[in-house]
Chain A
Amino acid sequence: MSEARAAAVVRALRRATGYVRLYGPRHALTEEAVRETAAALDGLIGDRAGIMLGAADDTLFLDGHALGLISLQFNAFVREVLAAGIETVIATPPVSHADAAALVHLIAGEGGGPTGGSIVVNGAKGVAVAADDTTPVARLRRAYTRSLDALRGFGRSVVDGDPPTLEDTAAVVKDLLDKSLENPAATLLLSTVKSHHEYTFYHSVNTSILSLSLARLTGLPERDQVVLGIGAMLHDIGKIGVSRAVLQHPGRLDADQWAEIRRHPQLGAEAILRAAAPGEELAAVVAFEHHARFDGSGYPRLVYHDGTRHPHGEGGHHHGHGHGTGGRHPLHFYSRLVAVADTYDAITTRRSYRRAESPSRALQVLLAEAGRSYDPDFVTAFASMMGIYPPGTFLRLTSGAVVMVVSPSPDPGAMPAAVVVRDAAGNPVAAPEPVAFSARDIVDQVGPAALGLQPADVLESLPAGV
């Protein structure tokens, strides 16, 4: 039954796309076809919360299940969709006419895509925002979405072999920097957005946001912050180029392909160097070193030293862990900073082979590995920035209510700022209000999955000034 409904959606989309090209976007026939498309999508969704249509390798997928016959029947249209750069379409009910129209226009090459939220192209719902929304949170979400687009664009250039530039990436990093200055707490909350299907892109943007926040705390000059932010955003870009080739390989990986995977730091650094304008070259060092450890282990084996001496000196102790490098470490300042942000976001994200950990647990891992995998000073600074309950942490109180941390407390001994998201009876709170509580009031942390709520979803309903 789903397949028949999926076929109805594809037929409607194909018809509507054809009408846009033949008659233009505002013709009566086009409008009618768009209405049918929206209705077909609603029919496919049924009573579910939403569906995801995906396209890859000339095949259409519905919620991860390949639609073989439909892919064959509508092969030309599937290729059109892919040519328009569309890889996933997430639809949630009710599908709006405007979003359906925007999707059709996008496929027809006539528009920028839906922004209403009922249809999201190549992304998770968490970053969808209406085009005419000018609130600070909306501007922040748009900055996030533009970052994803810039990253996808750069990734496409790398894969297609087109000469890339860092212009777009630099622009979005500057934008994120400005936004994080305007509203640091909201920016940190937005960095909790995750995507399972586009893990690398979302992870890269989140790492960049966290790195920029930490960089500002360290006093790094703004110009260097931009280069560092570019490096953080592109640190995994080599993997994008490698992953496609590996993912398209149908069988087991041979030794050459494994070697290719291990070269992705090098490949990423090369891609960035190729694209970097003068002054931006150091962004490549983050990509090159992002699998190298603070104590010199990891890969690639760094065979150069610039003679920089670590401020701790030889035999220094920090958090009970000695340094393995005798006071000399090969990692660049940028790499040591980004490594902390990179790990924090990775640990708090669910992967196919590992569940997501809580923010506190992520801090614990960082602290446990401080001095070995990570620079202990950056770990301390990061932990201080995030607080004992980092933004986005959900806490159940003795009253039964669930609160969400929205910003860390400046005093490490004090409780962070939080809002109520579930009342004592467990019901969702439409307009979260700030709440004060003490450590004694906390029963436990609650995972987002258990609540069915993501931190970034609460952004728009936060009271002003929080």
Chain B
Amino acid sequence: MPHDRTRHDAAAPGWGATGGPASTEALVDALGMAFATFTLYDDPTGETAFARAVETLGRAHTYPWRIETGVDGFLAQGELVAARREGSLRVARRLFSLGIAAVDVVAPPSPGDLLALFDLLGPETGEDEARKLLAARGVTSVRLLDRAMLLGGETPPDDDTATRAAAIGTDHPAAFVLAMLSDGSAEPADVALQFVEEYERAHLLVDLDDTWGMEELIHAFVEGFSYLPEAHRAAIFSLLLQRGHRPENTAFLDQLSGLEIAELDRMFGSDGHPLLAEYLRVAGEEGGRPTDRLARDTDRSRPLGAQIVDQVATVLQATDRSGRGATEEALARIAASLPDGGDAHRSVANLLRGMLKLSAADGEMAGISEVWASRVAGALEAGDLGTADDWMTAALEPGVSPADRRTLMGALRAAVGRPSLAAVATVLAEPPGDGAPGAVVARAAPLFAVDLLVEELAAEDRKSRRKGLLRALQVAARHQPAALLPHLADERWHVVRNAVVALGTSRWAEAAAALHPPARHGDHRVRIEALRALRRLDDPDAARLLVDRLADAHPAVRAEAGRLLGSLGGPGIDRSLIDATRSPDLDTALAATAALGWRSTGEARTALAALAGRRAWFGRARALRRAARTAQEAHRE
């Protein structure tokens, strides 16, 4: 039983926004809530839930807003709306079964509008009736769109003319044309007027900015045009020319080929249609269509089809002065331009270059980066260094921006597996000469391989392989030493150790400061390598650090610090060592004593001699004397 809308509308409260804009999910839930209330109560408008739903539906972010129907519920922009209320699903499914494809809410709906809508969801409403029934009840805040209308245009039409125009958006232009011919007069002039007016009216329904919709509309009408008899087409053609001041009509004419226009033109006598020349002149000047001379320069006494055949035959039978046929010539030139098998690499590289540039211009590097990286990695894995070089070259070209190159190298980092990395390590450890296969890969490796080599080195058990990997890492690090810095904070001591070793050979002076913390690392092996690295990098603070390490808890570190101090120049080192021999910590004192042995200065030798000649029988003094004498023996020239 339909509810009395009038009574409820009069009681309707004001519909201003009382909260923030509602999300699509909230709007759909509100619809579901309203429908659920509608099914439960005789007078749902008196229910709080219904009022709340109406209030929510009045708080859409913008109007109109649209939701589509589907078997699983409502959709927005093609995506299913995650509604919580079963009522939403029921409304959606029922509308779907009634042939309603979408609901446009053009204004905050009143309670009466919602009741009218829900009334239609009952079993009495037949398919394809819902839209008209809702409109007949005077509901304007909600519009229902059936499937044909959804395909035909944005704005749901209100009258039959627009409905028919919208129906043209379906794939049945023949049906539309037949309907037109059977509706009333089938005289060409009458049909032409109806056709052109329909077309012009439909054109008004499409947004000027809606290029897609405009194209669909024009194409659909042109298709329908093609189904008409010749006399009707000629009449439409003439009317379009007469109304050529309207841009949509010239757009229609622009779709016809030169041949079609020529065929139609012939129906207007030997001189053709009086307005056609003007259309062609304007179209040619405005660039709307090329002046199709082949169609215009035709002999009107012969069928056009025959003339086309003659034109084709003329081309094929043409010969040059030597009597060589056109086909023979063409095939000879094609044969001369056949791709050389050896050119394939270059062609692929060219293609990649083009794709990279285009992707960079579009800001869409992800896809091509992934493809490029997988091809490079694949070539490396297959041992095809030449191909890998070709692909790599495209990424290293000056035209590729640093940011894009980083993206590419990041993708390559992700794509390279162990076999590919092995190939990279080989060319790094034994760099090929310029121009040899793998040379480009070797040059590019520091850009992507440092992290991979660090990890591979960490995972490698075989000593022989580790040596090669470390060498590769050192080579790579010379070009990208900064890439190693993050690894200095790794939890794994051997990773830190390897990074320290590689940094030490990088000759990158700025690395020195980063190596101070590893010089105090918890693992003695790291501390030893850090000290060595600092010594290689000529760190100004190396001396201080080395002297500090004389007091290291581990004897190997103490010994190495001493050894490194032996070759260190600079003022005060001897004095520091001599002072250290007096350290209360015996191990420090012994280390300092041993370090003095590595020194070749007079001061150091004198101090060492004094320690070695001291009269001592027990304890610390005796130990120091022994250490001094050992140092003298070890370094006696």
Contacts and interface: CB of A to CB of B under 8 A. Distances in A.
B78 A250 contact: yes
Given A72-B97, A278-B384, A381-B334, A224 B339 contact: yes
A197 to B, nearest CB: 10
A251 B152 CA distance: 10
Interface string A403-443: 00000000011000000000000000000000000000010
A380 interface: yes
A294 B210 CA distance: 31
B600 interface: no
Most central of A248, A279, A368, A444 by chain B CB within 10 Å: A368
Contacts of A72: 71, 93, 96-97
B351 A284 contact: yes
A282 B348 contact: yes
B312 A300 contact: no
B331 A217 contact: yes
Interface string A344-379: 000000001111011011011101100000001110
Interface string B63-102: 0001010111001011000000000000001001111011
Contacts of A267: 367
Contact of A218 (B171, B335, B350, B359): B335
Interface stretch (B303-311, B400-408, B511-519): B303-311
Nearest to B102: A250
Contact of A66 (B72, B147, B311, B335): B147
A23 interface: no
A274 B376 CA distance: 11
A144 B304 CA distance: 35
A49 interface: no
B96 A68 contact: yes
B305 A445 contact: yes
A75 interface: yes
Q: Which 3 A-B pairs have the closest CB atoms?
A: A353-B219, A380-B330, A412-B316
Contacts of B343: 306
Contact of B331 (A274, A364, A381, A444): A381
A214 to B, nearest CB: 10
B200 interface: no
Interface in A208-236: 217-221, 224
A384 B331 CA distance: 10
A374 to B, nearest CB: 12
B590 to A, nearest CB: 64
A360 B68 contact: no
B371 A306 contact: no
Interface string B292-333: 101000000001011011011101110000000111011101
Contact of B312 (A218, A266, A270, A383): A383
A281 interface: yes
Nearest to A358: B305
B127 interface: yes
A352 B220 contact: yes
24 contacts: A64-B172, A68-B99, A68-B127, A69-B97, A224-B339, A251-B66, A270-B368, A273-B371, A274-B370, A288-B351, A288-B354, A302-B354, A305-B350, A306-B343, A333-B338, A354-B222, A360-B305, A360-B308, A364-B308, A364-B312, A367-B312, A368-B294, A380-B316, A412-B317
A422 B101 CA distance: 47
Given A259-B362, A319-B315, A380-B315, A251 B154 contact: yes
A250 B68 contact: yes
B86 to A, nearest CB: 15
Nearest to B98: A68
A88 to B, nearest CB: 14
A181 interface: no
Contacts of A354: 219, 222-223, 226, 255
A246 B286 CA distance: 32
Interface of A: 57-59, 64, 66, 68-69, 71-72, 75, 217-221, 224, 248-253, 258-259, 263, 266-267, 269-270, 273-274, 278-279, 281-282, 284-285, 288, 300-306, 308, 310-312, 319, 332-334, 352-355, 357-358, 360-361, 363-365, 367-368, 376-378, 380-381, 383-384, 388-389, 412-413, 442, 444-445
Interface of B: 66, 68, 70-72, 75, 77-78, 93, 96-99, 101-102, 127, 147, 150, 154, 171-172, 207, 210-213, 215-216, 218-220, 222-223, 226, 255, 257, 259, 292, 294, 303, 305-306, 308-309, 311-313, 315-317, 325-327, 329-331, 333-339, 341, 343-344, 346-348, 350-351, 353-355, 357-359, 362, 364, 367-368, 370-371, 374-375, 378-379, 382, 384, 387
Contacts of A57: 70
B374 to A, nearest CB: 7
B333 A281 contact: no
Contact of A444 (B210, B212, B305): B305
A383 B316 contact: yes
A261 B102 CA distance: 25
B333 A377 contact: yes
B211 to A, nearest CB: 8
A46 to B, nearest CB: 19
A71 B71 contact: yes
B357 A304 contact: yes
Contacts of A279: 344
B327 A249 contact: no
Given A269-B355, A388-B309, A412-B327, A263 B364 contact: yes
B358 A266 contact: yes
Contacts of B368: 266, 270
A368 B362 contact: no
A284 B370 CA distance: 15
A306 B213 contact: no
A58 B362 contact: no
Most central of B93, B309, B350 by chain A CB within 10 Å: B309
Nearest to A303: B357
A360 B211 CA distance: 32
Nearest to A355: B226
Contacts of A363: 308, 312
Nearest to B372: A273
A413 B317 contact: yes
Contacts of A365: 257
A273 to B, nearest CB: 5
A219 B71 CA distance: 56
A278 B382 contact: yes
Nearest to A197: B171
A69 B351 CA distance: 51
A383 B315 contact: yes
Contacts of B329: 380
Contact of A378 (B70, B97, B334, B387): B334
A332 B359 contact: no
Contact of B351 (A253, A269, A357, A360): A269
Contact of B210 (A66, A252, A284, A310): A252
A218 B338 CA distance: 8
Contacts of B351: 269, 281-282, 284-285, 288, 304, 332
A284 B312 CA distance: 32
Contacts of A259: 362
A59 B71 contact: yes
A367 B387 contact: no
Most central of B75, B127, B339, B375 by chain A CB within 10 Å: B339
Contacts of B346: 306
B78 A248 contact: yes
A226 B305 CA distance: 36
Given A364-B308, A377-B333, A413-B313, A288 B355 contact: yes
A97 B303 CA distance: 50
Contact of A352 (B98, B154, B219): B219
Nearest to A378: B334
Contacts of A300: 354, 358
B322 to A, nearest CB: 16
B330 to A, nearest CB: 4
A368 B315 CA distance: 11
A381 B330 contact: yes
B97 A270 contact: no
